[in-house]
Structure formats: C-alpha cells, structure tokens
Amino acid sequence: MSALDELKSLAGTVGNPLLEEWKKSGRRVVGFMCLYIPEEIIYAAGMMSYRLRAPGCTDTGASDVYLSHLNCSFARSCLQLALDGTYDFLDGLVLTDSCDHVRRLYDILREAGEKRFLHFISVPHKVSQQSIDFYREDLQTFRETLMRAFDVDISDDSLRDAIDIYNETRDLLRDLYELRRAEHPPLTGAEAMSAVLPATMIPRDRYNALLRRLLEELKGREIGGDYKARLVVAGGGGCDDPAYFETMEELGGLVVADTLCLSGRYFWEPVQRTEDPLLGLASSYLKRPSCGKMADQVADRVDFIRSMVADFNADGVVYHRLRYCDLWAGQLLYVKDQMNKSGIPMLELEREYALGATGQLRTRIQAFLERLEG
C-alpha cells in the first residue's frame, strides 16, 4: 500500500491497527480536543496523544440528554462517542475552554461519573507576556498531574526531545503544503487533509515515517483534470472530513490551502526550543495562527487568510463554520468586509458536522466557482 493510501485509510476512522498495536503493548493513550493542548507533554510521558473526532457519527441520542440541538454538532458527536463507549481505548481526557460548547464537555463527563484521568487546561483568550506566563503555569500543573496520575516522569530533557520530534512533523507537513503552490500540484485538497488527520491517531514515529514516504512518492506526480479555480478554505473546527473538500473538487475547485484547526493551523508554526521547555511551549502555542477564541487577534486571522491566498495563488476563499458556532460566526462580518476590501471573493458555508446530503452545498459551491471562472 502506498503511503497516501495508508493515510487515507486512517483518516476516516476512529480506531486503527497501529493504535490497537500500541494499546496491546500496554502503553497508554490520552485524548484531547483542541490544538492549544501541547501534545509534547503527553509524548514526553511515554504516552500517545489522540485528538477526539467523530467520523461517521450520525446518532447523538446519548449526548442530546446533556446538550441541546443549539449546541454545535461537533461537540455533541464527540460527547456521544465518549458516552457510548467508542472512546473506551482512551486512558484519559484533556479538555480546554476552546469554546463554550467544548468547555461544557468537561463538566458533563465529570458529573456523568467519568472514571478515567480527566484534566482541564485554561487557555488565555489574549496573547501577552502575562497570559504566556499564566499558560506556562497551567501547563506545569498539567505536567505534575499527569506524572502523579500515571506514575511517570516528565523531565525537561524528555520535553525537549518531544518538541524536536513534533517540530519534525511540522516541517514535513509544511513541505507537503509547499507542493500545493504548484500550478498542477501532486495531490488534491482532500488528499492533503487525509494526510494531516492521522497525525494524532497513530504513534508519532510511525506518522513521521509515513510522511517521509509520502513526500518521496509525490515526486513527479501531478493530479489530472482541469480546475476552474484555486481555493483556500478558512474558518474553525469541525472540518475533518475529506469528503467536504472532495465535494468542492468534484465541481471543479481545487483546494490548495486552508486555515483550519484540524489541518493547516495544526502545524504551521514550530515550537521554539528554549532553556525552559514549558515556556517555549506556552509562547509558541499561543503565538501560532490563532483560534476564533482569541478576541484580540481577528485582524491577524484575516491577514493569515490573505497571506494564504497570495502564497498559494488562490482565486477565492470558502469560509467554513459549523451551525451554532458562535466564535467563527461572530467575526464573519468583519472577515467578509476585509476580503471585499482586498478584492478576494469569498463564499460562506454553514453546515452540520456530519456531511449528510450535499445538494444545497453543491449548488452554492458550483455558483461560486462559476463566478470565479467568469
């Protein structure tokens, strides 16, 4: 099996053979939900980090007891899998206040009698030296709590080694995205997303090896067919289904870059190697391309979208958000205004987490592509 095919087979699943192999060897897996939770700390403890997703979840009956239909379907779907036993392979969960919907999952699991390791990290909503220092102290608390709960040691040296290994992942993924600048890239947007998603589903050394193989295999490859427009997909979380990009690309669009938390923003900036590794993690994680929760960085997020459009020679932006997502909906008018002032066409798409029927979605995308082509 090629590296790309192997990555594709992993992207649409919850479990996988490499994860099962890890568990059978007696090693632990800790789940998390937000890119502001440093996986390096979990790795330095000799454990595997696993990002919570819910591919294929169509029934949220158990989670609907706790969350209403006005909560985003991504949070409800992840809670569903936590309650129905799908995530039973996890030895612990680490959550944060990435948004009010995700914030409540911690409370619900705690009140529902969650027996596994359960920890909450408070991520500041602004970036300053004071907030970096606060975040660093919270990461130290997480480190100490993890060591006590699992009787492991997390030394500064092991954290520095973890930072090096995760920075290798970031470098490899940046190399992969650089290939998409070409007029005829070697892979589609859906394939690129499939390559990123397994990052937190399998052991890190195996993932880095797969990426190196993939980069070798892509040499000399070009995707076939013509396309009407090159697209950047911007927005927030809950966009972790390659079929979403496939829908755009079946209609003649080509997704060449994104600013999503489950793909582009996940790896864009490396962690600085410093004498105090926790301070390096705190500073680098807070200063990466920001989430919608960062109240003082809306203009920076718009600048990041503009830079992606320019760097990848895109013709337009598709702004993605989940229904009832307050963070990414709240800044929409500002983003639209700034894109208009920059002369960048933008299409806003709102959807539920599970892709479902795509008729209306396809109609809107097709109209946007025809506008760009014209």
81 falls within a domain:
yes
Closest CA to 2 of 221, 263, 240: 221
**Average per-residue pLDDT in the chain?**
93
CA 199/CA 214 separation, integer angstroms: 13
Q: Is residue 57 one of the residues assigned to a domain?
A: yes
Coil, strand or helix: which one is 233?
strand
Residue 260 has pLDDT above 80, yes or no: yes
Say what the pTM is. 0.95
For the record, the structure tokens of 336 come out as 């639209």
Res. 224: pLDDT tops 80? no
Q: Which residues contact 233 (CB under 8 A, 6 or more apart)?
A: 189, 239, 245, 248, 255, 257, 258, 259, 260, 317, 318, 320
User: What CATH number does residue 87 fall under?
Assistant: 3.40.50.11890
Q: How many domains does the chain have?
A: 1
Please report the pLDDT score of residue 360 as a whole number.
87
Q: Within a domain: residue 69?
A: yes
The answer to whether residue 44 sits within a structural domain is yes
Structural domain boundaries, residue 55: 27-155
User: Of how many residues is the chain composed?
Assistant: 374
Do the Cβ atoms of 169 and 208 come closer than 8 Å? yes
Work out the percent of the chain whose per-residue pLDDT is above 90: 76
Domain assignment present for residue 214? The answer is no
Write the DSSP symbol of residue 36: T
Confidence tier at 77 by pLDDT (50, 70, 90): very high
- Over the stretch 135-162, which tens digit does the pLDDT of each residue have? 999 999 999 999 999 999 999 999 999 9
What pLDDT does residue 137 have?
98
Query: What average pLDDT score do residues 41-57 get?
Result: 95
In whole angstroms, what is the distance from residue 50 CA to residue 23 CA? 12
Domain-embedded: residue 147 = yes
- Residue 58: what pLDDT? 87
Query: How far is 1 from 282, CA to CA, in rounded Å?
Result: 39
Question: Is residue 374 classed exposed, middle or buried when 0-12, 13-18 and 19+ CB atoms within 10 A define those classes?
Answer: exposed
**Considering the domain boundaries, does residue 204 fall inside one?**
no
In a domain, 116, yes or no: yes
